[in-house]
Chain A
Amino acid sequence: MNIEWYIVLSSLLFATGAVGILIRRSPMVILLCLELMLNAGNLALVAFSRSVGNQQGQVFALVVMVIAACEVVVGLGLIVAIFRRKLPLDVDDLTELRG
């Protein structure tokens, strides 16, 4: 398969994740959609690494995986903290920080 198929698939997955972030209200599902976008970036990185025949892009993808894991850990910690304080798990209701 040619490389541009992977790139087009990756941008399609990125756009799908963006739709999710724009339309969903549960913070947990928004985190899941962030994962989708990060994974689309990973697919593009690995595809480019294959297209230039250099493995360094795969190291980039691994580092992105680590960042995604950190983001998940902190995000889920925040969600558990919100739940413990009996606040609504809905991004339209969590408006305390709005200026």
Chain B
Amino acid sequence: MEAVLFFIAAIGALGGAIGVVAMRNPFYSVLALIAHLFSLAVLFLMLTSAFVAAAQVVVYAGAVMVLYVFVVAYVGGGGEPAWDPIKGQRFLSILVASILFVELSAAVLSSALLALGTHGPDVPAGFGDPAAVGRLLLEKFLLPFEASSLLLLIAAVGAIVLAGRKREEETV
């Protein structure tokens, strides 16, 4: 049962990822990424991390993707040329990525990591639920938590500065 669910979610995630790369229209790429993110949330749930899965759906598939959809609607999905500007670019990049995949997998699987080839240790019932993760965030990782909130604020201000309309530029 668990294996079936894993393979369904894995195929969803992989199909979404390939859709993002292969779709010519950026709008369809965004929709494929949303499917990918939902499949990843299922995988997170299977890894008993309920809070990360919920944050993935609410923050990522909800808020961030809405931002993408708005920008795609504003900018318009310009089609890309079907040909390769650099000869053999597609073939070469797929080759490089296959080498990357083999190398990453080999590096992890041949390592002496604990719990490889097992299901992982048995965890208590509250593992990864919002209360446990929230306690970690507000006690042990308070400084990174505050730093990331500051980073979000800086990013929001930066986006306003970058994309905001400037009066003097319009008159020029």
A28-B26, A46-B49 known; A20 and B78 CB under 8 Å? no
Contact mask for chain B residues 109-136; partner A; CB cutoff 8 A; 1 contact, 0 none: 1000111111111110001100011001
Among residues of A, the one whose C-beta sits closest to the C-beta of B70 is: A76
Interface size class of A (residues with CB under 8 A): 35 or more
Q: In the complex, are the beta carbons of B155 and A70 less than 8 A apart?
A: yes
Q: In the complex, are the beta carbons of B117 and A32 less than 8 A apart?
A: no
Q: Is the interface of A mostly helix, strand, loop or mixed?
A: helix
Interface size class of B (residues with CB under 8 A): 35 or more
Q: In the complex, are the beta carbons of A22 and B64 less than 8 A apart?
A: no
Q: Please, which residues of chain B bring their CB within 8 A of the CB of A39?
A: 36-37, 40, 60
Query: Could you pull out 17 A-B pairs where Cβ atoms are within 8 angstroms?
Result: A4-B116, A8-B105, A11-B108, A12-B101, A13-B14, A22-B92, A28-B72, A49-B128, A50-B49, A53-B127, A62-B137, A66-B148, A66-B152, A70-B152, A70-B155, A74-B159, A80-B75
- Chain A: residues with CB nearer than 8 A to chain B? 1-9, 11-20, 22-26, 28-29, 32-33, 35-36, 39, 42-43, 46-53, 55-56, 58-59, 61-63, 65-74, 76-81, 83-84, 89-90, 92
Other than the given A52-B114, A62-B55, 5 more pairs (CB < 8 A) read A8-B105, A11-B108, A20-B20, A63-B144, A69-B64
